[in-house]
Structure 1
């Protein structure tokens, strides 16, 4: 780390309520008890009439994301369900198209078409092929 983190205290007055935001680097301490005791003593020295309230910032952030953490599995369930429904729809569409083309594929096989050609629907009367053949024709 290039820079040393210093302790910071910010005082704010909103609606007749004074709040202090204190950012203290607690790398030297094993837990929060020692710095909190020092902060409590300093607070009582500054304003003994008001109680010292401590809120850990990580707990505040956890409360903000509680709803999203509960909503996550529900969203995941419906996402998987929608994927399953869409795959069933694709499977049904493929079966429907195969049923529609069964007679056509059978006739092509009798006429000598290859399996690949009949499976991928290579036709000589496709509109784009007619357009290309008319474009190349000499007038």
Structure 2
């Protein structure tokens, strides 16, 4: 049973090392880091990314997948929800660092499943939401 960090950065000003540091500071002991650099989570589903495909092939039942936040898995609602559900069906535990969520697919209680699925949906829609621009020009204001 391995603990694997999946990290993704899409721009040069982002940093994989920063994600790893946050994960380790949160107390995770990692067996491996799998990372995609310079890859958009908007335009490229996890399964089509070079290291995303490797991650999917590597994960086994009982493994823990750690991500800083679900937006590292993707920035498309359907892709993120499908990915998390697929990993849970495989018996993989998904843990997020920023909000300390754990998704493991273990519950059989319908109410708990509904709450879990609602949380996954909320997190996925948040991942898809456009990120605010740090600098706005006067002509870009509404």
TM-score range, shorter-chain basis? under 0.3
Q: Which has the higher strand share?
A: 2
Using CA pairs under 8 Å that are at least 6 residues apart, name the structure with larger relative contact order, 1 or 2: 2
TM-score normalised by structure 1 residue count = 0.21
- Structure showing greater radius of gyration is 1
